[in-house]
Structure 1
Amino acid sequence: MSTTLTTVRKSWFAWVTAGEFTGFLAPALAGALTSSAPLLVLAGIVEGVILGAAQCLVLRRTFHSFDAPRWIGVTALAAGFAWAVAMLAVDNADRLNTLPLPAVVVLAAISGSGVLLSLGTGQWLVLRHHVRNASGWIWANALAWGAGLVAFAAVTTPLWQPGQPTVVITLIGALGGLVMAATMAAVTGFALTRLVER
């Protein structure tokens, strides 16, 4: 890999990890303070705006005439969509428990696929004007976010316990968010440099 691509990858990892971590603090704090689905979706949109802006700091140096406002917009919409789907699942948990297991599995597969593919698909609409075979970005994002969510759960699940103070809940969520952000940034950074290299 050339020095330029190595620089892109390192810069992407640093900025995207910082951006996603900072952005994720909005829904982490909102979730610790309230169970309001609309507020959590709004916090998710804020997360998307911050993540998209951090990514644009690298992308605008990598591609000429990069459409930063559109990238930030589709990233924010995709993040809001992901949080909306998650809130629908949480708010309808009792109803879902009454369905047969095969139906629940199908619904989970459809909604999970939609969430994992939404961000990459939205960003592909912008990226396809700058690289060939940009559709790989969709799958790279699905893999990155899937790995990031697994990492988040691996960190937070054993630490979160009933009855913890809000500060502790928020700090655990922030730690999980940092691990998730770094995981996602590493995978998408690798994918970005491969697309640029081609």
Structure 2
Amino acid sequence: MTTTELATRGIWQSWFRWTTAGEFAGFLAPALVGALTSSAELLVLAGVIEGAVLGAAQAAVLRRVLRAPQSWDWIGATAIAAGFAWAVAMIAVHNGERLNSLPLVVLLPLAAVAGTGVLLSIGVAQWFVLRVHVHRSHIWVLANALAWSVGLGVFFAVATPLWQAGQPPALIALIGAFAGLLMAATMAAITGAALVHLVKRG
């Protein structure tokens, strides 16, 4: 294995560890809040906390790999984007009956726009910070959309059959945390590959 291959492998491993840990730790906030309450406001706030923790973990790697961007810019962008994604999700959840009453010709485009906004939110927000430091930074937006799409798919595939009506809040939170860990690892693996690609291209 060449020196370059070792270096890029080290970048991916570092990103994978930090991002997985950051997203898992951050996701505990909405997992716990969601187990205790259905308050949309509190869940959006928990989502902002999730984004801030994730952003801080990722910034720790970016400072070494790119010697940029500024940590607070990255953390702030990630926190705002995560809050936005949770807000969109809460609007959908708390207006489920009203949305289900809409004709498919209206509901499907609305769902597509909302889903796209959620999947692109973090990648686009981080791109505004990253674009001045790397070439072809638009790849980051696409990679994040893929990463979160697959990661959320993993989360719901694991959590949905395990969650049952009448479960105690502690068990609901534990299931959510376990599924969140798998989601975090999936997202970290995909975005880590994208980061290595961007670093190689300079």
Give your verdict on TM over 0.5.
yes
Q: Which moved more, 1:96-105 or 1:22-31?
A: 96-105
Distance 1:155 1:139 in 2: 25
The answer as to 2:111 corresponding to 1:108 is: yes
Q: Identity over the aligned pairs, expressed in percent?
A: 62
The answer as to 2:172 corresponding to 1:169 is: yes
One-letter amino acid matched to 2:12: R
The answer as to 2:26 corresponding to 1:20 is: no
2:51 to 48, 53, 69: 48
Residue 65 of structure 1 and its aligned partner are, at CA, apart by 4.0
Using a 3 Å threshold, how does the CA distance of structure 1 residues 171 and 59 change in structure 2: closer, same or farther? Answer: same
User: Following superposition, which runs of at least 4 residues in structure 1 exceed 2 angstroms of deviation?
Assistant: none
Task: Give the match for residue 38 of structure 2.
Answer: 35
The answer as to 2:74 corresponding to 1:71 is: yes
Task: With the length of structure 1 as denominator, give the TM-score of the two structures.
Answer: 0.98
Structure 2: which 5+ runs fail to align?
none
Corresponding pairs, count: 198
Structure 1: which 5+ runs fail to align?
none
- Secondary structure in structure 2 of the residue aligned to 1:79: helix
- Deviation track 1:154-189 (CA, whole Å, cap 9, x = no partner) reads 110110000001111000000010000000000000
Task: Give the match for residue 10 of structure 1.
Answer: 13
1:99 to 84, 99, 102: 102
- Secondary structure in structure 2 of the residue aligned to 1:171: helix
Distance 1:56 1:170 in 2: 27
RMSD (Å) for aligned C-alpha atoms: 0.8
Using a 3 Å threshold, how does the CA distance of structure 1 residues 110 and 178 change in structure 2: closer, same or farther? Answer: same
2:144 to 136, 141, 145: 141
